[in-house]
C-alpha cells in the first residue's frame, strides 16, 4: 500500500514529480562534493521530509475535494494551511542546502 501511494504521487502529481527531479539534482551534488557523512545525512533527511510533506499535502487536497469541491472557504483555509506547511519545509530545506553546499561551491 505504501509503495502504491508513492507510485500514485509520482504518476499523478506535478509537485511530487518536480520534487523528485530536484531531489535527483541535489543527490548528484551530494556525491559530486566531498560532503561529510553528517552533511549527507542532513541532505537525505531534507529530501525525504520535503517529499513526505508534499505527499501529505496532496492527501489533504484530495480528501477535502471529496468533502466539498465547490470552493468552500473553510476547505480553502485547510488547503492553504497544508500548503503553508510545505512552503515552510521547502524554505528550511533550501536554507540547509545553502549552509551545506555554498562553502563547497565557493571553494570549488
pLDDT value of position 69: 76
Residue range 7-26: average pLDDT? 95
Domains held by the chain: number = 1
Q: What share of the chain in percent tops pLDDT 70?
A: 100
Q: Is the pTM of this model over 0.85?
A: yes
Share of the chain above pLDDT 90, in %: 91
Q: Which CATH number goes with the domain that contains 95?
A: 1.10.287.3610
CA–CA distance, 41 with 45 (Å, rounded to integer): 6
How do residues 28-46 score in pLDDT, each as one tens digit? 999 999 999 999 999 999 9
Residues 70-86 pLDDT 10s: 789 999 999 999 999 99
Mean pLDDT of the chain, nearest integer: 95
Domain span at residue 88 reads 2-107
Helices 37-67 and 73-107: angle between axes, nearest 10 degrees: 160
43, 100 Cβ separation under 8 angstroms: yes
- Which pLDDT score is estimated for 70? 78
- Cα dihedral value 51, 56, 61, 63, nearest 10: 150
Handedness of CA 80, 86, 89, 91 (dihedral sign): negative
Amino acid at each position: 500500500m505504501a509503495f502504491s501511494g508513492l507510485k500514485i504521487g509520482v504518476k499523478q502529481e506535478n509537485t511530487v514529480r518536480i520534487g523528485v527531479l530536484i531531489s535527483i539534482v541535489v543527490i548528484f551534488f551530494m556525491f559530486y562534493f566531498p560532503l561529510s557523512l553528517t552533511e549527507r545525512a542532513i541532505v537525505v533527511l531534507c529530501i525525504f521530509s520535503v517529499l513526505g510533506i508534499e505527499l501529505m499535502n496532496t492527501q489533504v487536497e484530495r480528501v477535502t475535494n471529496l468533502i466539498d469541491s465547490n470552493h468552500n472557504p473553510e476547505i480553502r483555509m485547510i488547503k492553504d494551511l497544508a500548503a503553508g506547511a510545505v512552503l515552510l519545509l521547502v524554505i528550511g530545506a533550501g536554507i540547509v542546502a545553502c549552509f551545506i553546499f555554498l562553502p563547497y561551491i565557493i571553494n570549488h
